[in-house]
Amino acid sequence: MNPAYSRRVRNEQTVRLTAVRRLYEVSARMGAGRSLAETLQAVVEGVVDGLGFGIAVLNLRHPDGKFEVIAVSGSPEAREALLGTVSAADIFDAEFAIADAWGKLRFVPHERLPEGEVIGWVPDLPVSDDPEAWHPLDALFAPLYSSDGELVGMLSVDLPEDQRRPGPVHRELLEIFATQAGLAIDKARLTDRLLAEKTRLEASEATFRLVFEGAGNGMATIGFDDADRGRILRVNDAFCRITGYAADQLLGARLATFLRDVEPEQTRAELEQLGAGNGTLRFERVFTQPGGNEIWLGGTAALVAQGAGQPRILLIQIDDVTARKDAERELRHHAAHDPLTGLPNRRLLQHRFTKVLARTRTTGRPGALLFCDLNHFKLVNDSYGHEAGDRALRDIAARLSGAVRHGDTVARLGGDEFAVLAEDIAGEALTTLITRLEAAVSLPLDNIAVQVTTSVGSVPITPTTNDLNALLHQADQAMYTAKNRR
């Protein structure tokens, strides 16, 4: 074997081994960077420190396709001139069209560049006549790709340490390094996104905690999935104040144990819609406080996703709406009842008549509508005054209510006129009811010497009956017949 050839082979092996060691060192340093900025800087520093180039510039590709110089190493002048510059997405297309393909690398020799203004930064390097010497306008690029083949950046190098165009060994090492750099950048981008998401979630959690704890209305989180479904996971001070329970009495308990739900099927359907992502649930439920007192809670429930693989929760906000519910109930009562006697008025009588008529048409069994008019009541007002007359009306209303059967309705039509709506009654039972009404009214009134009686007219309610007003008119006529007969 030729001794000179053997020495040349050993020298190349030594160069390769030394370069591989340097590559390993800078690759380890590059992979140690946690954030994207640290990784990018490690890439360019690794090229300068480990691969024998005087300058390294890294262009990061943004989602819109544009390139931005993010990291520069080896020359303060190059860093000042290039760092932060943004280029169009096609910035490298023209140069690559005239470049030599060195594997995945692209080398643009100066002699192929078109005449004109040079774009970018050019090192101050003497020009040599040697065709293999590095020229100040020569350019070597290493595209950087992610694991799925996406172009993530462009690495450009300049000023080889031997001032010559890189040979096969350095090209191979640069290509290997570029492959690792692309993967490191892809990993660092993911790390940055995760860190940003973590920071966002921490900030969001801090904001949520501040709002949650400081809210004037009651707030709680309720488990929606798995074993925690329906369990109270978190409450604020206002929730405890409104419900009357301490936090340790509520946490872990099922919210349903404190609520009186008269329509559980509807609640189940509403929760299913909420689970499918259909808006926000508004609710009003009766809540039992520690001493057994019941209050009305009104509020909203919204489904919150906590992240991939995490169970969903319900965020509910409540207020004590007992006063409003009481006011609404009182308003409904006044709208349907006579203010003096508390008996149902004509409006409520109409409502109940509609239901009685529907059942009469179903069963075929008749009912009855009775019209009651008080006799001699005008003498009470004339002799004792209207205040005594009002007391007498309240007493008579109570007597009428006590004389009817359970389920019958006694209503005041106005003045001294009353109506009784009786379902499933006829014949002797109807006669007995009329007798009881007459007897109840005829009892003496406290501190009133006037004998007040009642005349009662009745008409049947049959499946062919239609109009309450027409029926009242017929009962009124029947009452006058009974009054004249009396």
The catalytic residues are 416
Helix, strand, coil fractions of the chain, as percent rounded to 5: 45, 25, 30
CB neighbours of residue 225 within 10 Å = 12
Cβ–Cβ < 8 Å for 155, 58: yes
Instruction: Using CB atoms within 10 Å of the CB of residue 119, give its burial: 0 to 12 exposed, 13 to 18 middle, 19+ buried.
Output: exposed
Sheet holding 453-461: strands in order across? Answer: 409-414, 417-422, 367-375, 453-461
Read off the DSSP letter of residue 150: -
Q: Whole-angstrom Cα distance, residue 314 to residue 221?
A: 5
Phi, psi (5° rounding) for residue 376?
A: 70, 10
Phi, psi (5° rounding) for residue 52?
A: 80, 30
Read off the DSSP letter of residue 403: H
Q: Whole-angstrom Cα distance, residue 178 to residue 184?
A: 10
Residue 429 has which token pair?
Answer: 């039972």
Cβ neighbours for 361, distance < 8 A, ≥ 6 positions apart: 463
Residue 260 to residues 257, 265, 294, 303, 321, Cα–Cα distance (Å): 8, 13, 9, 22, 15
Q: Give the residues across from 374 on adjacent strands.
A: 454
Read off the DSSP letter of residue 55: E
